[in-house]
Amino acid sequence: MSGPLLKIDDLSCRFGGLWANREVTFQVERGGIVGLIGPNGAGKSTLFSMVAGAQRPTAGRLTFDGRDVTGWAAHEAARAGVGRTFQLMRVFGSMTVLENLTTAAFVRRPRPRDARRYARQVADVAGLGPVVDLPAASLTAAWKKRLEMGRALATEPKLLLLDEVLSGLTPTEAREAVEIVRDVNRTGVTILMVEHVMEVIMPLCDQLVVLHYGQKISEGPPEHVANDPAVVEAYLGRAL
C-alpha cells in the first residue's frame, strides 16, 4: 500500500464550548517518526485519543492505511494496527515483565507458546532484557515506561502512539529511551509521539507538528519548527 499511513484532515473535537482540536490537518508517512508538541492543554492527548479510537471527532476525517476510519472504536484501531502507550502507566503490577508482554502479544498470537516467544523478542527490542522476570510493580518509573512501550509493541502495531515516554527521565534514561524508539522504528514501525520536552525529540523526529489552543500552528523538520516565530511565541519566548 502506498500513501501516508495516517492522514488527519480538518479534524476537530469540541467539549461543550471548548475546541480541544480545531481543523487539524497533517499526515504521517510510513516508516516516519513524527513528534506532536505544544504547551499544556494544546490538544495533544485529545488528538491521540481520536487516532486511537478512544474519542470521537466532532468533525473532520481520519484515514488509516488508506481507509476512512473516522470515529472508529478503540478495539477497531487496535485490530487495524494502532498501538498506544498511556501517560498514566497501565501495567499489571503483580505480573512479571514477561507476563505483561505476553498478555499484550495475545492480541495477535492466540497460542501461548507463540505469544511467549514473541514477548521475549519484544523484550529485547524494548531493552527490557535485564528485568523480564521481575514483577512489574517493582520497576522504577523509567523501566515502567519501557514496559509500557514494550506492551504496545507486543501488539505488533503499524503505528505506535507514544505518550510522553521520554518525560520525567534522567538525561541518561532519556538517551537510552531515544535509542529504543529508534530501534523500534528500524523494525518498520511508524511512530507518532507526544512530548513536552523539545530538545529530547528534536534529533529523533523527521517531522514535528505543533499544536496551540487546539490548532496546528507549525509543522516541518525540527530545525524549521524550532525557528518558527509562531512556535517561539506559543512557548512564551522560551528558548526551545
Ligand X SMILES: Nc1ncnc2c1ncn2[C@@H]1O[C@H](COP(=O)(O)OP(=O)(O)OP(=O)(O)O)[C@@H](O)[C@H]1O
Strand order across the beta sheet in which 67-68 lies:
18-28, 6-15, 59-64, 67-68
Task: Give least dist CB 207 to ligand X, A.
Answer: 18
CA-based nearest residue to 163, from 88, 90, 213: 88
For ligand X, the closer CB: 20 or 181 = 20
- Contacting residues toward ligand X, per CB under 6 A: 15, 18, 20, 38, 40-46
Residue closer to ligand X by CB (options 43, 81) is 43
CA 151, 126, 155, 10 dihedral sign is positive
Pick between residue 4 and residue 41 the one whose CB is nearest to ligand X: 41
38: left (phi > 0), else alpha (psi -120 to 50), else beta?
left
Contact 24, 10 (CB under 8 A): yes
Smallest gap from Cβ 121 to ligand X, in A, equals 32
**Nearer CB in complex with ligand X: 20/200:** 20
Minimum distance, C-beta of residue 195 to ligand X, in the bound complex (Å) = 9
Task: Give least dist CB 102 to ligand X, A.
Answer: 30
69-76 long-range contacts, CB within 8 A, separation 24+: none
Q: Least distance (Å) from ligand X to the CB of residue 49?
A: 8
